[in-house]
Amino acid sequence: MQDNISQLVLAATVSFLFIIIIFSFFFFICRYQKPSNYAHHRTRRSDRPGTRTVPNLELSTINIDDSASFDPSLNRVSMEELKTATRNFSADLIIGDGSFGLVYKAQLSTGNTVAIKKLAPDAFQGFREFRAEMETLGKLRHRNIVKMLGYCMSGEDRVLIYEFIEKGSLDQWLHDASYSSEYSVKLPLSWETRNKIVNGVADGLAYLHGLDTPIIHRDIKAGNVLLDSEFEAHIADFGLARRVDSSCSHVSTQVAGTMGYMPPEYKNGLMTATVKADVYSFGMLMLEIATGQRPNLPIMMEGKEVVLIEWARKMLEESRHWEMLDPSMIKEGVREDSVKEYLDIATWCTSESRKDRPCMGEVIDLLNHLNSIEEK
């Protein structure tokens, strides 16, 4: 009888321990599993060639209270209204993926159509980008810089509200054959339109660099240039932007930007970001706009793979500038002398040494001269 009781106690103990083990297993699985919907959309957009941003993870104190020096003219919108406007942040309304968050198209109760960026749930990165954008973009007013309209702070949630730019990103117009917009039919961009976009980005950067306390964007690329109904360019996504001191530099513990657009000094271990880093990225963007080639994808040349900047320098050495143009673009009416001058400007901006690159004010002068050639 005693043996039977001992066996029952042992069996009950083993069963209890087994249940505890099973419960613990499922608890840890649930605890570390990422939200499936967010992960799906994040991967689908960020893994496109040429669009991955290298975040700056430098450590500093992040103050997230309401006392930050935000523009008082910005509207503070409630989370309840944002959930209503986005149908609880429905995946159907996603129109893009910023450096640290998904972007949704929505209509507020005022009737205004806006773009809403809900920052990623990672508290550190989300708070950092929120503060960076609020303290830079929140105070900027320029026709070639996307306008911030409002924000939301609710618990750990941080949401930014921007004007809605109808035609989407330049990246979509250059590289996404399947891209379509309810506002227009996608056609290859003309040479005239490409020049207009370049001029718009240059004007926006010259404004940023010319402020009393200059701002370095640090992630100029096709995906961060939005196009309105008139194909006017608007620089977007200031999550990596930094104000700089009188030396026009910012000391960072890690590089920030997107592969292919980042200047060579970053590869050599120089961690001081300057306005000349933006100039290099702008030059790479000029090459991308003219050629239709992504800056970080290989191009076959003489039987080997090279990146865009290597290919461009070799082609220009051989005076093959006309062959460099995007094959999808209609070239009727395009002047060879203006193409050559355009590519010369891009080449100067992408000089290996940052000391050899022009400032954006000089670039504006060169582009104005190019425009005068086009008008003759």
Q: Which residues are annotated as a binding site for Mg(2+)?
A: 224, 237
**Residues flagged as binding site for ATP:** 118
The residues pairing with 169 across neighbouring beta strands, listed in sequence order, are: 226
Q: Report the C-alpha gap between 64 and 113 in whole angstroms.
A: 28
Contact (CB, 8 A) for 340 and 322: no
Lookup: tokens for 211:
């402020």
219 labelled catalytic:
yes
CA 306 to chain centre: 24
CB 315, CB 321: distance < 8 Å = yes
Binding-site positions read 118, 224, 237
In angstroms, the CA 198 to CA 374 distance is 14
Annotated active-site residue in 219, 228, 278, 356: 219
Angle between helices 275-291 and 191-209 in degrees, nearest 10: 170
Element holding 114 (H helix, E strand): strand 113-119
DSSP string, 258-280: ETTTS-HHHHTT--EEEHHHHHH
The backbone torsions φ and ψ at residue 40, rounded to the nearest 5 degrees and listed phi first, read: -60, -50
Token pair of 67 as six digits = 């006392």
CA distances from 287 to 231, 308, 326 (A): 18, 8, 10
Catalytic residues: 219
